[in-house]
Amino acid sequence: MEPIIKAYIHEAIEVEKSGVEVEMKKETEFTVPEELQNRFEEQPAFKEAFEKLTPGRQRAYLLFFSAPKQSKTRDSRIDKYMDRIFDGIGLNDRY
């Protein structure tokens, strides 16, 4: 395995020296579900708490809240996770 690893290391060094750059993906905009937008308008403190979350945590919540087809389900998810958002905790963080 040693020769293979050394070959990879030398290849990585050559790539670094060549100055080749990886094109990064452009940040994707996520739409805010209507139910969440309504909640933000009703409770500005909730919107402020949401905006204090890291972009990754915001994205996880937006995807999770947007997934259900029924408005009732989206509302119940928002209700269930509001306390976590106020506490600055992400969707997948341990509580």
For residue range 14-52, what is the model confidence (pLDDT) as tens digits?
Answer: 988 998 887 776 666 778 999 999 999 999 999 999 999
Token match 């080749």: residue?
A: 20
> pLDDT band for position 78 (50/70/90)?
very high
Token match 């933000």: residue?
A: 40
Q: Are 52 and 86 in contact (CB under 8 A)?
A: no
pLDDT recorded at residue 28? 64
DSSP 69: S
- The CA-CA-CA angle for residues 25, 12, 4, to 5°, reads 125
pLDDT recorded at residue 95? 61
The residue-averaged pLDDT of 56-69 equals 94
Query: Distance (Å, rounded) from C-alpha 26 to C-alpha 23?
Result: 9
Q: Please, is 89 exposed, middle or buried when counting C-beta atoms within 10 Å of its C-beta (0-12, 13-18, 19+)?
A: middle
pLDDT recorded at residue 31? 85
